A and B are shown apart, each in its own frame.
Chain A
C-alpha cells in the first residue's frame, strides 16, 4: 500500500485536499512533513509538493521553498528513484529546484486564473497516468497567477522528442487551441515528467476532482494510478 508524504512549507494551503485525494485512492493517509526537516522518513514511496503560496511567492514563485532543507532530501529521494508529484506551487518549486526543466512565468493575460480547464493525457504508461487512456481528456481546475510554462526551444524539443510532456491543455474534445491554453504555456504544456518518469509536475489541481459529492471524480485516476503503482509494495 502506497506510503506518501506531503511537504508543508509556510504558505502551502492545498495539503488537506491532497491528503484526501491520496487517502481515497490508496486507502492510507499520507504523512505531513515539515519543510525544516533535513531528512525524509524511511520507506516513503511518494513525496508530494502541494499547491499554495510558499513563502508568499517572494522573489519568484517557489524560489524560496526550493532552497529549504527538505528539498535537498527530496532531490536525493528522486535521485534514488523515488516518486515525486508537484502540483501548482509544487510544480513551480520542482522547476526552481532544477528537478524539472523550464520555469513558470506570469500568466500571459496577466491575471490570476481560477477556472476549469481540460487536459489531454499524452501517455498512459507512467506511474501517474496508468489509469487513464492515452489521448483521454479530463476536466480539472486551474488556480494560479504564474502557470505559463516556459523553456527554450531546445528544451521543449527535447521534452517532446523524449515524450516527457505528460499533459496538455486542450478543448474538452482534445484539441490544442490557443483559447484552451489560457495561461499561455509553451506548446500548451500543463505537466511534464522527468526522464525516468518518476517526477511529475503539473499546474492544475486534479485533487479537486476526487469526490462525486463535490466536483466529480475526473482527477481521481491520477491518484489511483499512483496507488496501483505501489499496490504490491
Chain B
C-alpha cells in the first residue's frame, strides 16, 4: 500500500519560500498569481493492506515525525 503525505506550512505561518517562488514567476512574466505556498510530499510504501489502517498509520507517522504541527499541516492520501 502506498501512502502520500503532503506537508504544507499552516495558514498564518510565514512562507518566505512560497513568496519568493511567486515573485520569480512574476519575473518570468506570469500574471495573475495570488498567494504561493511551498510544502513537501513524502511517499511511503507500507506493508499494511487495509486502506483505513494504512491511512491511520501514516497519519500517526505524520504527527510524530513527518510534519511539525506547530508550523505545518498535513494530508494523507492512500493509493
| Residues of A in contact with B (beta carbons under 8 Å apart) | 59-60, 63, 67, 95-96, 101-103, 105-110, 148, 150-152, 184
Taking each of A59, A110, A151, which has the highest tally of chain B beta carbons within 10 Å of its own beta carbon?
Answer: A59
CB atoms of B70 and A103 under 8 A apart? yes
- How far is it, in angstroms, between the C-alpha of A110 and the C-alpha of B14 when the chains are bound? 11
Interface membership of B28, Cβ < 8 A: no
Interface membership of B73, Cβ < 8 A: no
CB atoms of B68 and A110 under 8 A apart? no
Interface membership of B1, Cβ < 8 A: no
Interface membership of B71, Cβ < 8 A: yes
Q: Which residue of A lies closest to B66 (CB)?
A: A59
- How far is it, in angstroms, between the C-alpha of A109 and the C-alpha of B14 when the chains are bound? 11
Q: Which residues of B contact A103 (CB under 8 A)?
A: 68, 70-71
- How far is it, in angstroms, between the C-alpha of A107 and the C-alpha of B13 when the chains are bound? 13
Q: Which residue of B lies closest to A64 (CB)?
A: B65
How many residues of chain B are within 8 Å of chain A by beta carbon? 11
Q: Which residue of A lies closest to B19 (CB)?
A: A110
Assuming A103-B71, A110-B20, is B66 touching A150 (CB within 8 A)? no
Q: Which residues of B contact A108 (CB under 8 A)?
A: 14, 16
- How far is it, in angstroms, between the C-alpha of A152 and the C-alpha of B12 when the chains are bound? 9
Interface membership of B17, Cβ < 8 A: yes
Q: Which residue of A lies closest to B40 (CB)?
A: A59
| Residues of B in contact with A (beta carbons under 8 Å apart) | 12-14, 16-17, 20, 65-66, 68, 70-71
The 8 closest A-B pairs by CB, nearest first: A103-B70, A103-B71, A110-B16, A110-B20, A108-B16, A103-B68, A106-B16, A60-B68
Pull 8 A–B residue pairs with CB atoms less than 8 Å apart, ordered by A.
Answer: A63-B65, A63-B68, A101-B70, A102-B70, A105-B13, A105-B71, A150-B70, A184-B16
Q: Which residues of B contact A67 (CB under 8 A)?
A: 65
- How far is it, in angstroms, between the C-alpha of A152 and the C-alpha of B65 when the chains are bound? 20
> Apart from A101-B70, A103-B68, what 16 extra A-B contacts exist at CB < 8 Å?
A59-B65, A63-B68, A67-B65, A95-B70, A96-B68, A103-B70, A105-B13, A105-B14, A105-B16, A105-B71, A108-B14, A110-B17, A148-B14, A150-B13, A150-B14, A150-B70
- How far is it, in angstroms, between the C-alpha of A102 and the C-alpha of B12 when the chains are bound? 14
Q: Which residues of A contact B71 (CB under 8 A)?
A: 103, 105, 150
Q: Which residue of A lies closest to B67 (CB)?
A: A60
- How far is it, in angstroms, between the C-alpha of A103 and the C-alpha of B10 when the chains are bound? 12
- How far is it, in angstroms, between the C-alpha of A60 and the C-alpha of B40 when the chains are bound? 11
